[in-house]
């Protein structure tokens, strides 16, 4: 008979405790309350996320480069930008949009919460753009600094409404009079409102670089009009578990119009499905162009 080592017993104990913790989790979960955010400051997680941003086979973190090129051209027209104008890329990630705007003669600034993504943006753009490490909820921005702001891929929706209004107000203040903001959000008519769960195993990917079990679940809160996804990742070699959550608030066009009005902006145009732009997921999205009135 082979006796288990203290190390093996410790791993089994941690796995046992993790499974009981999952069993005792609150059901249903509450969006923006249950679960921890992704560890954006962690270097290992940041490197794995960067690989996902740069992966051209899917749009899990960023769209493919050919689609980004189409979006940048569309946004220059929709925001009425010319060479020499200034643009702020909120949650810029690895600079995939920012560097393209800079290459078209615009002054570009971007901020993001991930140091690894910003390092890549600096390497890719050189001195053509400025990047800052900042949470989108607390950016240090000078009022009236930019001709345009972009806030893409639904990042506006991953915070509670109260925070979203404050962020919209902050970004609006950073606009020059007459400046415009591009805000991309999921089309409420296309949002999945079904609860679901899934699991898979792997030994390499976003969730880790050693054998792990990933358990995930999604809950739709009809009252709040928001979803929450919870992820439990068990490292099978150590028994340790990581817990993450991602909530997503759904906004109707009327919601955005009212929010914009409350912070001194107005909806100038609405582009359902990016007005026919050939993006692989265009049908799921609405692009709002908000304008700051002239003084």
- Can you say how many angstroms the Cα of residue 221 is from the centroid of all Cα atoms in its chain? 20
Q: Provide the b/e sequence for 245-284 (b: ≥16 CB within 10 Å).
A: bebbbbbeeebbbebbeebebebbeebebbeeeebeebeb
pLDDT digits (tens, 9 = 90+) for 194-224: 999 999 999 999 999 999 999 999 999 999 9
Given a cut of 80, whether residue 3 has pLDDT beyond it is no
CATH 3.40.50.150, the chain: domain bounds: 55-187+251-291
pLDDT digits (tens, 9 = 90+) for 235-279: 999 999 999 999 999 999 999 999 999 999 999 999 999 999 999
- pTM, to two decimals: 0.95
Could you say which of 3.40.50.300, 3.10.450.350, 3.40.50.620, 3.40.50.150 is the CATH number of the domain covering 55-187+251-291? 3.40.50.150
207, burial (CB in 10 Å: exposed 0-12, middle 13-18, buried 19+): buried
User: Which residues are paired to 181 by β-bridges?
Assistant: 149, 290
Among the listed residues 113, 116, 115, the one whose alpha carbon sits nearest the alpha carbon of residue 134: 113
Percent of the chain past pLDDT 70, that is, above it, reads 99
């Amino acid at each position: 008979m082979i006796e288990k080592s203290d190390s093996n017993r410790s791993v089994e104990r941690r796995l046992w405790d993790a499974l009981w913790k999952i069993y005792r989790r609150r059901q249903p979960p509450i969006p923006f309350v249950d679960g921890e955010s992704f560890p954006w400051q962690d270097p290992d997680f940041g490197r794995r996320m960067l690989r996902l941003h740069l992966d051209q086979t899917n749009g899990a973190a960023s769209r493919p480069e050919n689609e980004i090129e189409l979006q940048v051209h569309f946004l220059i027209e929709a925001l009425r930008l010319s060479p020499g104008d200034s643009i702020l890329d909120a949650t810029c990630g690895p600079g995939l949009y920012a560097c393209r705007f800079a290459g078209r003669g615009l002054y570009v600034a971007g901020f993001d919460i991930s140091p690894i993504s910003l390092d890549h943006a600096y390497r890719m753009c050189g001195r053509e753009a400025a990047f800052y490490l900042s949470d989108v909820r607390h950016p240090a921005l000078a009022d009236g600094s930019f001709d345009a702001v972009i806030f893409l891929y639904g990042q506006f929706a991953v915070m509670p409404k109260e925070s979203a209004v404050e962020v919209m107000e902050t970004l609006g203040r950073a606009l020059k009079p007459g400046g415009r903001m591009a805000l991309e959000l999921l089309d409420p008519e296309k949002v999945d409102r079904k609860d679901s769960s899934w699991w898979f195993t792997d030994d390499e990917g976003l969730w880790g670089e050693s054998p792990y079990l990933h358990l995930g679940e999604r809950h739709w809160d009809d009252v709040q009009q928001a979803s929450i996804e919870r992820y439990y990742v068990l490292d099978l070699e150590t028994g340790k578990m990581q817990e993450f959550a991602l909530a997503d608030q759904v906004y109707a066009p009327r919601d955005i119009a009212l929010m914009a009005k409350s912070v001194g902006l107005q909806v100038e145009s609405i582009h359902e499905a990016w007005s026919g732009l050939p993006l692989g997921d265009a049908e799921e999205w609405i692009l709002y162009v908000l304008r700051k009135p002239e003084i």
